[in-house]
Amino acid sequence: MKQTKTTKIALISLLTALSVVLGYYLKIGTATGILTLLDAGIFFTAFYFGSKEGAVVGGLAAFLLDLLSGFPQWMFFSLVNHGLQGFFAGFKGKWQWLGLVLATIVMVSGYALGSTLMNGWAAALPEILPNFLQNIVGMVVGFVVFQSVKKIK
């Protein structure tokens, strides 16, 4: 399929909506928020399209998910954390591994900072490992889906 600007906007919109659905229906509650499969959609988009699109899907999908899930206090943290996660995850070539490491660091540390500001460091510490695991699971699922779609294309 030839990718026109309109087609690309439509695909990015669909991937944003799909990421919100993944996060909304496949989530685990924690003491201060939720863990989701949202990251799988972000990583897939970043792997398939690149940094700019990964940032758009990451930021918008996470923002909307927090709004719909009843966690509006996290919306702007999520916009920045997952937007940067998607941006870094979209690095290509020899920079890809650095991008994946930065995507993980920015997401986990961003939520640790947010949790510390809202609830104190004692509440932030137990969230670090689950956020790290959410990021890794999302990365693996996003990569597997990306590889499958790449073979079809």
Write the CATH number for 91.
1.10.1760.20
pLDDT tens-digit readout, 13-61: 999 999 999 999 988 877 767 788 999 999 999 999 999 999 999 999 9
Q: How far apart are CA 2 and CA 121, in angstroms?
A: 50
Q: What range defines the domain where residue 62 resides? A: 5-152
pTM, 2 dp: 0.93
In this prediction, residue 31 carries a pLDDT of 72
Q: How far apart are CA 44 and CA 143, in angstroms?
A: 6
Percent of the chain with pLDDT over 70: 97
> pLDDT band for position 116 (50/70/90)?
very high
Identify the CA nearest to 132 among candidates 97, 114, 105.
105
Give yes or no for residue 2 having a pLDDT over 80: no
HEC sequence for 76-122? HHHHHHHHHHHHHHCCCHHHHHHHHHHHHHHHHHHHHHHHHHHHCHH
In this prediction, residue 1 carries a pLDDT of 56
Total structural domains within the chain: 1
CA distances from 119 to 32, 107, 123, 151 (A): 8, 18, 6, 45
DSSP 73: G
Long-range CB contacts (within 8 A, 24+) of 97-101: 99/51, 100/139
Q: How far apart are CA 40 and CA 111, in angstroms?
A: 17
pLDDT tens-digit readout, 117-136: 999 999 899 999 999 999 99
Mean pLDDT of 73-90: 97
What residues are paired with 34 via a beta bridge? 29
In this prediction, residue 83 carries a pLDDT of 98
